[in-house]
Structure 1
Amino acid sequence: MIGKTRTLSLLLLFSEEENSLSAEEIAQRLGATLSTTYRDLKKLRELGLVETVPGERFILGGQISILDRVARLGTPLLKASIDEMERLAKVTGVTVTLTRLYFDSIIGLGHVEGDRNVSIGYERGQVVPLFYGCTGKAILGALPWRQLKRIFEANTDAIRQAGLGGSWDAFLGTVRTWDRDSFLWTEGEINPDNIAVATAVLGADAVPLGSLTLIIRRRDISLFDRSQIETELMRSRGKIQGVIAQSSP
């Protein structure tokens, strides 16, 4: 069996920017010999975790897609949220998205479309901007200060460029204006054509698990009642958090 650490390191080399790699590129980045890399790739191909494409390059295999579906459907946050997402989209006519907190990033879990097509700006499984848009900011506003401090220290330049503060005190002051128990509207921060509102979904320990977001095309905003959207969003948040609390040990 190939080394577990090396296997994981090999698979993690693939990204949106580099979704195909040659054996030579993999070997170089892992600091492994070419013969070792080919042996590892052979085993991964047998498991369906990588596949070959023209040009003697490798991509992630079909088994990854199966695992992605299993992981998504088994995510407690999605299981607790899907009924409310469908209800929200139906009663408001607005597209609803769900994201989850993953270390210091947020990832799209899925969405339910409303009455009007809207370009969300991110897809399921895609990392969502943490410092732009209400989806990430709602989560930031609910994080404990120690985690915020770690995020600031690791992303100082990005936070400054996003206009959220050039120092730790300034950043904390900005974030604390976003009420963890309410909602946040933003306009055009991820997609210039959209206006969105989000709220953090909290776990049983009151730490955010992710966020629930409603997205509206800017040109359609006058067709909607903002107060109704806010009311329905917070109602769904309460129901989702209730399901999560009941399922917690």
Structure 2
Amino acid sequence: MDETTPMRGPMPDNVMAPTRQPGMSDSSLERMLGLLDLFTEDRPSWSVEEICDHLSMSQATGYRYLKLLSRTGLLAPAEGSAFILGPRIVQLDRLMRRTDPLLRHGVPVIERARPELHGMFLLSRHYGDHVLCVHQDMTDPTLRTSMERGRPMELFQGAAPRVVLAFLPTYQLRNLMLRHPDRIRAAGLGASWEEFRARLKAVRKEGTRIAIGEVDAGMVGVAAPIFRAPGAVVGAISLAQSEERFRTEDPARLRALALRIADEISAGFTGGGHQPNGRPT
């Protein structure tokens, strides 16, 4: 079995679980794990001093956090006094590829649908204020796109993020409106709660969303939501094509294909029983 193939069965019991250190509160733990967000392609390494200055924390706290993150393998020492992302992340990535239910249910469905799309399939999972691509399957090798596995996208732009956003619970949508009113307005989703809710209601009614050039110029995405339980959206399936290819397609066919794939993956979460369809009938 290829190590990227989702593995059925129980999760291995020899995987270290993160533990809360004595005297560490939930907020301290969250702040420590938040250090990982500092590491990007543009800025892959940080020193203790740089981290402490950037986050306005004491050096004693910074050293303690970095020591714990290094001990678990989430960070690793680099040149000089710098730190980089650690090998434990690769271990967790392999484990996710083999055990994540979204991948376990989704990858076989996508493989069966490959002959029906000249473009690319993207399977995405929702977390926090983002949607993250966890699987990519390209059937058009000529495509050039920034949409790829491991790339997070905000909920306000793109086919998959918008369709996930539309099916989030009302309390989460209200919180998003309170935290990100400028981004929501800039994305054309409304300047008020009423406008925001009305635009998302239209997406829910359609059940899919088509986005043209919102992530990459010259690219089109068609997305449908995936549910792990009735009304509980977990992610989305996206069908991506070049605009040139999309102009030769029937958008209704692509919408139907995205909905069918999403429904099959959603059904997998209930063992093939009741379809956990969160869309309105």
Confirm or deny that 1:58 pairs with 2:83: yes
Confirm or deny that 1:9 pairs with 2:34: no
Counterpart residue type for residue 213 of structure 1: S
Structure 1 segment 100-139 matched on structure 2, within 5 A: 100-139=125-164
1:185 to 210, 234, 251: 210
Q: Could you state the TM-score of these two structures normalised by the residue count of structure 2? A: 0.77
Question: For 1:44 and 1:165, how far apart are their aligned partners in 2?
Answer: 41
Give 4+ residue runs of structure 1 displaced > 4 Å after superposition: 1-8, 36-40
Identity of aligned residues (%): 27
Alpha-carbon deviations, 1:44-65, whole Å to 9, x = none? 4454332222243111111122
Q: 1:51 to 1:91 in 2, by over 3 A?
A: same
Counterpart residue type for residue 62 of structure 1: P
Question: For 1:185 and 1:246, how far apart are their aligned partners in 2?
Answer: 29
Question: For 2:231 and 2:104, how far apart are their aligned partners in 1?
Answer: 18
1:149 to 174, 184, 187: 174
Give yes or no for contact 1:89–1:114 (8 Å, CA) kept in 2: yes
Could you say which residue in structure 1 is the equivalent of 2:223? 198
Question: For 1:167 and 1:78, how far apart are their aligned partners in 2?
Answer: 36
Q: 1:18 to 1:142 in 2, by over 3 A?
A: same
Question: For 2:62 and 2:209, how far apart are their aligned partners in 1?
Answer: 48
Question: For 1:154 and 1:98, how far apart are their aligned partners in 2?
Answer: 27
Q: 1:139 to 1:61 in 2, by over 3 A?
A: same
Question: For 2:202 and 2:29, how far apart are their aligned partners in 1?
Answer: 44
Q: Which stretches in structure 1 are left out of the alignment for 5+ residues?
A: none
Give yes or no for contact 2:39–2:85 (8 Å, CA) kept in 1: no
Q: 1:119 to 1:73 in 2, by over 3 A?
A: farther
Q: 1:39 to 1:232 in 2, by over 3 A?
A: closer
Counterpart residue type for residue 33 of structure 1: Q
Structure 1 segment 1-249 matched on structure 2, within 5 A: 9-13=31-35, 14-16=38-40, 18-28=43-53, 29=55, 31-34=57-60, 37-38=62-63, 41-42=66-67, 44-179=69-204, 182-246=207-271
State the secondary structure of the residue aligned to 2:230.
coil
Question: For 1:221 and 1:213, how far apart are their aligned partners in 2?
Answer: 14
Q: Could you state the TM-score of these two structures normalised by the residue count of structure 1? A: 0.86
Which deviates the most, 72-81 or 97-106?
72-81
State the secondary structure of the residue aligned to 1:121.
coil
Give yes or no for contact 2:48–2:59 (8 Å, CA) kept in 1: no
Per-residue deviation at 1:199?
0.5
Q: Which stretches in structure 2 are left out of the alignment for 5+ residues?
A: 1-19, 274-281
Give yes or no for contact 1:138–1:180 (8 Å, CA) kept in 2: no
Q: 1:42 to 1:213 in 2, by over 3 A?
A: same
How many residues are treated as equivalent by the alignment? 247
Per-residue deviation at 1:91?
2.4
Counterpart residue type for residue 102 of structure 1: Y
Give yes or no for contact 2:119–2:242 (8 Å, CA) kept in 1: no
Give yes or no for contact 1:197–1:213 (8 Å, CA) kept in 2: yes
Question: For 1:77 and 1:134, how far apart are their aligned partners in 2?
Answer: 18
State the secondary structure of the residue aligned to 2:269.
helix
State the secondary structure of the residue aligned to 1:245.
coil
Q: 1:177 to 1:7 in 2, by over 3 A?
A: closer
Which deviates the most, 53-62 or 224-233?
224-233
